[in-house]
Structure 1
Amino acid sequence: MSSSPSGSDMYLVHPTSSLQKRSPPRPPSTLPQQKEEEEEAPHTAQDLRARGKTNSSSHITVNSSLLSTLQRVQDDKSQSVKVQSSGEGSNPDGHQRVNNGSLKYFIDDYKEMLGIGQEERRAVWWVRQQLHPPSTSTYHLTGVLNAMDDRYLSASQEFIGEQVQKLFNKSLSSGGDGRFAEAGAYDGEFLSNTLWLEMENKWGGVLVEPNPESFARLLKKGRKSWAINSCLSTTPYISTMAINLHVMADNVTQDIAADFWRSSSRARHMTPTKEDHKAVQAEVVCVPLYTILVATGLTSLDFLSLDVEFVEMGVLASLPWDKVDIKVLAIEHLTEEDLEAFLRARGYFLVAHQNEDWVFASNKHFDLHGVPIT
């Protein structure tokens, strides 16, 4: 399912390296601690090479801000200021923000991190710096196509929700906690595949959204999950990608007819030239999915929702499958590549697909009828 009518259309990949209602969920407020032997971070590439932890593409000095712990993550990073065309700007929290025209990004300057491998400790530390913690406030929702009202669902939401409900029926009925990751989260509500799991079933996880304006809205929704303002890398390195950032005004989003979204969960037919729907070309930082999962302690996932606009195969190919355990995947598949064969080779079977939406389950956790293996 597309997470947004104004999502992030990726048009050029350019790696920079070589290469029943319940109470709201209560996710952990802290992330996994570093192993004791890893608490002292190397300060330079020379230190890393001395420890055998780097490669020829990683000769980059580590910024001292990367040494801070998760507790330094501010509850309100959303106060970041717009970066002026001079290149860099500082915030009340002392962080340097990325220059990308007049866009306001909720992430530190990433230039020193480009080319760093997804399993390197400083990549994980840096990502932890960028994570916004689960909200402690109440939800602030518009109620538009957020899957909380069965009368107003996009066809995509309805399909994916039904498959997830079937596969996790026993777990959902018993009230067991679950963990998810949603890439292409838009504003955390509109066309979300995970909001209902979070609100009704006490699940928690991480939300990934590259569009800074959509991400700003997400931070105001009161989601009880971690969130990061980045796209997913198609390589096993932190990189950048040129994308079209589409933004639709809140009032327009709220006025969209449900019939339109039932026929198409995307807004590909809505031209960016309309006053209420603008598009900006920008370069954004892309973090490997694996690095985000390690940083949040979510290498074991119940549900992964992947909506990354034509680069899904690159994101999946960069994932070290022997180091993650993902039970169910919902993937918006837009390319001609054989997604089913790719995932079959990695221990998954196709549960169902409808148009661009494909749902897979792990052979390790479900039989071929979708019944959980206990």
Structure 2
Amino acid sequence: MARRVRRLAARAGIGIVRQRELESLRADRGAGHNLAFLKALPEQAPRLLPLLDASTAQLRQDLFALAITGFKRGGYFVEFGATDGKTLSNTHLLEKKFDWSGILAEPARCWHALLEENRDCIVDRRCVWHTSGERLPFSETGEAELSTIGAFTGSDHHAAARRGAASYDVQTVSLTDLLAQHEAPAEIDYLSIDTEGSEFAILEAFDFARYSIRVITCEHNYTDNRERIRALLEAQGYERRLEHVSQFDDWYVRAA
């Protein structure tokens, strides 16, 4: 097994790495994905490998954003839903290790206390939607990461897990208004979207002429909206990257 991991690491462009790092990859249940991810980014792999343990993102979206932005320090992110700001967070590493700042939005009440505790950036408790100022039913599930706007509870293969969810109303804000109200810069380095079904509606209403976003990762969960999102973003000059490793996410980079 060690020989196979070394061989895969070498193919990923890592070369000779420390045995401790290889053992960590072997022990990790996601080692296969990590190695595929590193192999897909051979030039950046030597710098990405030591960051694997610090990454909290489920599919290494945080490391993808770093690789595309040249391991930028002091960048700017926007992430929603943000959950507790650490568990499965796509931006925790960026804030804590690379001094990024930004905005987190999360309407699920169960996350609010920990979100404020875990992060030092702007936290907005409204639900990002295609329009601002609405009040919509929101379903908070037992598996809280699957919480979503009530209308989307049956939109993907997690529908069964959302049965019996607690329901309450949340206030909405559009993505454009969220950025404007928190005085976000016109150039956003990274946008992470995970709203369990409403992603297309949010992006369709966004003012791409007002804000330029370098990297977007967007969960699709293999729904019909996946290709609608792709068509929308490609029309705005984005390219989908690393589809073979992004799984239930799609990763987009604005063409230079």
Instruction: Name the TM tier (shorter chain).
Output: 0.5 to 0.7
1:219 matched to 2:109? The reply is no
In structure 2, the partner of 1:341 is: 231
Does residue 316 (structure 1) correspond to residue 213 (structure 2)? The answer is: no
- Is residue 226 of structure 2 the alignment partner of residue 361 of structure 1? no
Match of 1:186 among 83, 99, 116: 83
Classify 1:152/1:196 alpha carbon distance in 2 versus 1 (closer, same or farther; 3 Å): closer
Work out the CA distance in 1 between the residues paired with 2:94 and 2:125: 21
Aligned residue identity for 1:241: L
Counterpart check, 1:204 vs 2:106: no
Indicate which of 156, 160, 178 corresponds to 2:61: 160
Cα separation, partners in 2 of 1:269 and 1:318, compared to 1, 3 Å = closer
**Do 2:76 and 2:101's aligned partners in 1 also have CA atoms closer than 8 Å?**
yes
Task: Select which of 352, 355, 364 maps to 2:242.
Answer: 352
Contact 1:214–1:247 (CA under 8 A) maintained in structure 2: no
Which position in structure 1 is the counterpart of 2:176? Answer: 290
1:47 equivalent in structure 2: none
1:138-184 deviations in whole A, cap 9, x for unaligned?
Answer: xxxxxxxxxx9735867x63342342232022x43xxx310000010
For 2:124 and 2:220, the matched residues in 1 are separated by: 23
Distance 2:159 2:200 in 1: 24
For the 8 Å contact 1:242–1:284, the answer to whether it is kept is yes
- Where does the alignment leave 5 or more consecutive residues of structure 2 unmatched? 1-49, 145-156
The question of whether the paired residues in 2 share the 8 Å contact of 1:213 and 1:247 is answered with no
Equivalent residues in 2 for 1:28-177 (5 A)?
Answer: 150-151=52-53, 157-169=58-70, 171-172=71-72, 176-177=73-74
User: Are the equivalent residues in 1 in contact too, given 2:55–2:62 (CA < 8 A)?
Assistant: no
Show structure 1 runs of 4+ deviating over 6 A.
none
Matches of 1:151 and 1:317 in 2, distance apart?
35
Matched-pair contact (CA < 8 Å) for 1:178–1:202? yes
CA distance in 2, matches of 1:218, 1:270: 27
Letter in 2 for 1:336: D
Judge which range, 237-246 or 181-190, deviates more: 237-246
Q: Which blocks of at least 5 consecutive residues in structure 1 are unaligned? A: 1-147, 250-266, 367-374
The number of equivalent residue pairs is: 190
**Pairwise CA distance, 1:242:** 1.8
* Alpha-carbon distance in 2 for matches of 1:272, 1:163: 30
Q: 1 or 2 for the larger relative contact order (CA 8 Å, sep ≥6)?
A: 1
Cα drift, residue 355 of structure 1 = 2.1
Residue 136 of structure 2 aligns to a residue whose secondary structure is: strand
Q: 1:145 is matched with which residue? A: none
Q: What is the root-mean-square deviation in Å for CA atoms of aligned residues?
A: 2.8
- Checking the alignment, whether the CA contact within 8 Å between 1:347 and 1:362 is kept in structure 2 is yes
Q: Distance in 2 between matches of 1:314 and 1:272?
A: 21
Distance 1:356 1:283, change over 3 A: same
Percent sequence identity over matched residues?
A: 25
AA aligned opposite 2:250: W
Task: Give the TM-score normalised by the residue count of structure 2.
Answer: 0.66
Which protein has the bigger helix share? 2
Please give the secondary structure, in 2, of the residue aligned with 1:326: strand
Asked if 2 retains the 8 angstrom alpha-carbon contact of 1:210 and 1:231, the reply is: yes
Deviations 1:92-126 (A, max 9, x none): xxxxxxxxxxxxxxxxxxxxxxxxxxxxxxxxxxx
After TM superposition, the score normalised by the length of structure 1 is 0.46
Q: Distance in 2 between matches of 1:288 and 1:269?
A: 25
Letter in 1 for 2:251: V
